[in-house]
Structure 1
Amino acid sequence: MTPKVVSGGPEFGSSLRRRREALGLTIEEAARAASVGSETWRRYEAGSSVRRDKVRGICVALRWRSLPESGESTGDSDERWEDFPKAKFDDSYSAWLEREFGESRARLFASGCDIFRDQLSDELSRLGKQPRGTHLGELDVSWLEGSLPAQWLPRYDYDFVFRLHCTVEGLRQRVVRAEGGGMECVTRSVAEDLALHLILERGMVSAEAAGSSAAEDWDEWEYELNGEDDEVIPALFSKSSYVEQGSRLHFDRWFEVVDYVSADEADEPA
């Protein structure tokens, strides 16, 4: 039976630390990129063993194809990212995405889903230990604080992260179960637009670290999934505009289900 952990040791831990420092990363930054907690990363650098399901995240964070001395790569042996067994992505691989956009993009979506769901679960664990009302900006370390529109930072509490987690899960299931032919807009709310953006962003990092061409045009592909005229994400993250109360892009309306969300519609009165 294949071991569930990769053996650590002093030299292994030192290799991780040297690589992290060479990349100019703090422990918190490396841990965030690897989808593990800071204390877990510190244990790795102290020589702790690594669970097999965490290997990919460490390789992504340190831009390695495999862990030193372990023979554990981000795929099987020295295969490319595109050659990873589909089963590696568990329940997030979409045959519909593969059929409509190509296998590498289906892998990018699945990889991003797995990483993002782990990050959301970690945020919920952290927030759940804090007083009610604590938001992401008040945590010592947060995966998502810098990934969400800054205008509503005080609103990103446990309830919001839980709801976003449910949104990601619903979107994932819809994409995985899709069977129709042809292109279609897969998002039905601003929250789903945002969730898809964050999923693909994380999948891009994973693909890029493994040298996959899928990372090259992920932003254009995002708009193909949302509708080619979709400008919701640029509008949400614009540093030169303030989203007014009542706009369909306002936080209070993110989870409203609509047939299609566009930036032009977003400014219409409710």
Structure 2
Amino acid sequence: MSPRNADHHEPDDPDIAQTMRARREELGLSVSQMSKRAGVSVQTWRNYESGRSRVRADKQDSVWDALGWESPSPWSALRAMTGTKSGRGGSEQKPRQGRSGRDRLSPELLGLIDEMDDDEELVIDDDDIEGAVRAILGSSGLLDELAQGAETLHLPGWDEIPTELAAGYSPRLAGMLGEKAARCFAMGAFLYDRSLAEDLDGLGELPRGTHLGELEDTHIGTTLPNLWLTRYDYEFVFQMRRSAQLLCLRLTGEEELADDEPLVRSMAEALALHDVFDLGCTIGSATHGVLVERETWEEWVDTLSGPDRPARRAIYTMMIPPADSPEHFDNWFAPFADPFVPDWGAQAPPESDDDAIVVDLGRNQR
């Protein structure tokens, strides 16, 4: 992750098509020469320069190398799959999708415009949900692209998560909420930690007081309330990363967690838990074909952090809250006065396809 500069380019930059054409002309190369140098077809290169298509995750390194640019952030693959933008570029914050995690995969990306009903819901034959999803992804060529995106983000296969991401995989969580919850949490925790580590690298290279809005790429800088943007500095990111790590230590048993003890003990931990599940379920949808309804993973968050939904209260803060409230930034790392204690003895209901669909992408055969 790097500070913004004129020489750094990302595949989802608004002017990337014009920039690529200008760079090719600067190099004195024809479209044919440039496409050969980048390892793509002439038509594909023309599509890049016209803005008709964006550089796929598996082609980004070779195309950027041909242009003589430093490689794009690995998070550009994530953004390509989830439809989010890099950087902040201003104070406007997109409203969050409120219906389901499935909405996070755009219909345009999946090629499903003709497969939506009047309520913008995906229409799939209930008798063969997995087959329908596979057919849609396969016919659009997206199945291979999602697998490539997963490789770019260094994600293991769905069945390998308990061992490959053991630092975040919790058998206790699997028993309480189910395997999907435990694996999505582990994947989200891995990506969350990696993202914040890159934020720290970027902030560490800049003067003290630099905030996340001044970085080229940041994940939590786009998910936390814009109200406090200039407060998201190195020390804040360091503490948020530690908050997420503490959640993992408690859930995996590395740190003792008794049946009468809370998991979430501060607003920072509530925000981290919410973002970890959001990230894990979104990327699970984008890279593993694990479609988890937003209502489902938010129920998981509520089960662990309480029905008062502390994270959502902070995320949707529009005005400055009272100075002594947990939602105020100055209190995010302060212990909750009365933290919620989950029902650690609860048993997850049998797994079903009603709330998630797993499509084996047939990759990561190690």
When normalised by structure 1's length, the TM-score is: 0.69
- Bigger Rg, structure 1 or 2: 2
Change (3 A) 1:160 1:85: closer
Q: Does 1:10 align with 2:31?
A: no
Q: 2:184 aligns with which of 108, 111, 133?
A: 108
Number of the residue aligned with 2:250: 174
Aligned-pair identity in percent equals 29
Structure 1 position 192, deviation (Å): 0.3
Give yes or no for contact 1:232–1:261 (8 Å, CA) kept in 2: no
Q: Does 1:220 align with 2:294?
A: no
Structure 1 position 148, deviation (Å): 0.9
Which deviates more from structure 2 when the two are superposed, residues 149-158 or residues 60-69?
60-69
Question: In the aligned structure 2, how far is the partner of 1:112 from the partner of 1:198?
Answer: 8
Amino acid in the other structure paired with 1:157:
D
Q: Does 1:158 align with 2:234?
A: yes
Amino acid in the other structure paired with 1:125:
D
Unpaired runs of at least 5, structure 1: 1-8, 32-39, 49-53, 263-270
Q: Residues 88-121 of structure 1: CA distance to partner in whole angstroms, max 9, x if unpaired?
A: 2231110100111111110000000000001000
Unpaired runs of at least 5, structure 2: 1-37, 67-72, 82-104, 106-141, 341-366
Question: In the aligned structure 1, how far is the partner of 2:227 from the partner of 2:74?
Answer: 35
Q: Secondary structure at the match of 1:107?
A: helix
Q: 2:320 aligns with which of 242, 251, 261?
A: 242
Matches of residues 103-142 of structure 1 in structure 2 within 5 Å?
A: 103-142=179-218
Q: Secondary structure at the match of 1:93?
A: coil
Question: In the aligned structure 1, how far is the partner of 2:335 from the partner of 2:204?
Answer: 27
Q: Does 1:43 align with 2:119?
A: no
Structure 1 position 65, deviation (Å): 4.2
Change (3 A) 1:43 1:223: same
Structure 1 position 126, deviation (Å): 0.4
When normalised by structure 2's length, the TM-score is: 0.52
Give yes or no for contact 1:93–1:109 (8 Å, CA) kept in 2: yes
Give yes or no for contact 1:113–1:199 (8 Å, CA) kept in 2: yes
Structure 1 position 247, deviation (Å): 1.6
Structure 1 position 241, deviation (Å): 3.5
Structure 1 position 42, deviation (Å): 4.8
Q: RMSD of the TM alignment (CA)?
A: 3.8
Change (3 A) 1:75 1:137: closer
Structure 1 position 143, deviation (Å): 2.1
- Structure having greater relative contact order (Cα 8 Å, sep ≥ 6): 2
Amino acid in the other structure paired with 1:111:
M
